[in-house]
Amino acid sequence: TQLLEQSPQFLSIQEGENLTVYCNSSSVFSSLQWYRQEPGEGPVLLVTVVTGGEVKKLKRLTFQFGDARKDSSLHITAAQPGDTGLYLCAGALRTDKLIFGTGTRLQVFP
Amino acid sequence: GAVVSQHPSWVICKSGTSVKIECRSLDFQATTMFWYRQFPKQSLMLMATSNEGSKATYEQGVEKDKFLINHASLTLSTLTVTSAHPEDSSFYICSARFNTDTQYFGPGTRLTVL
């Protein structure tokens, strides 16, 4: 069974703080995606990383794919209340399925 | 970006009835669609993979006779929960994929079985 472990599970911070979410696995993925999901809605794609060592930036969000394509991180700079949500990483296998991480629930207080 | 819709967004039904959920890709043709289930405060669990014109592939532990999937066209897949029971209550989410690893998700359907 492929597992994608995310840490931390929960994160509660003040507006303006920085944070990093980690996504780790023993499996190698052809690509990895990060999603954000708000209550009662479907996940919204933030980014797809494909190449080992790749770094992508989306405004205050920085995503990194591990060199071995087994892990990834999401760093948020100067978090804002609008960043609140469930963050999910998902690794793509050669079988075309996505394996979702365990999720990180982020709460940013004003 | 690619848009995927689901209908209905929520449904309440009596135990023993069947419920059909539709998933449509609105602005692209999806080679593959996926159905997920999500319990409160948990991540998504893949139920089945659906390819147009062929039988769905179910994940281990998912009853194919309980969760019927029909992928009638490149833009429509349906999930029917047959003889629903309270333990089937959940948030069901579909996604659609075309020619890359990226999946685009629908807004989800909340099913409550009384």
Strand locations in A1-110, DSSP E?
A: 5-7, 10-14, 19-24, 31-37, 44-49, 55-58, 61-65, 71-76, 85-92, 98-100, 104-109
Q: How confident is the model at residue B53 (pLDDT cuts 50, 70, 90)?
A: confident
Instruction: Round to whole Å and give the CA distance between A67 and A54.
Output: 8
Interface check A28 vs B, CB under 8 A: no
Give the residue from chain B lying closest to A40, CA to CA: B108
Q: Is A42 on the interface with B (CB under 8 A)?
A: yes
List the one residue out of A39, A77, A72 whose CA is nearest residue A58: A77
Q: Comparing B17-26, B78-87, B91-100, which segment has the lowest mean pLDDT?
A: B91-100
Chain B CB contacts of A92 under 8 Å are: 101
Interface residue A101 vs chain B (CB under 8 A)? yes
Amino acid identity of residue A108, one-letter, is: V
The model's pLDDT over A23-81, given as tens digits with 9 standing for 90+, comes to 999 999 999 999 999 988 999 999 999 999 999 999 999 999 999 999 999 999 999 99
Q: Tokens for B106?
A: 């629908």
SS3 assignment, position A82: helix
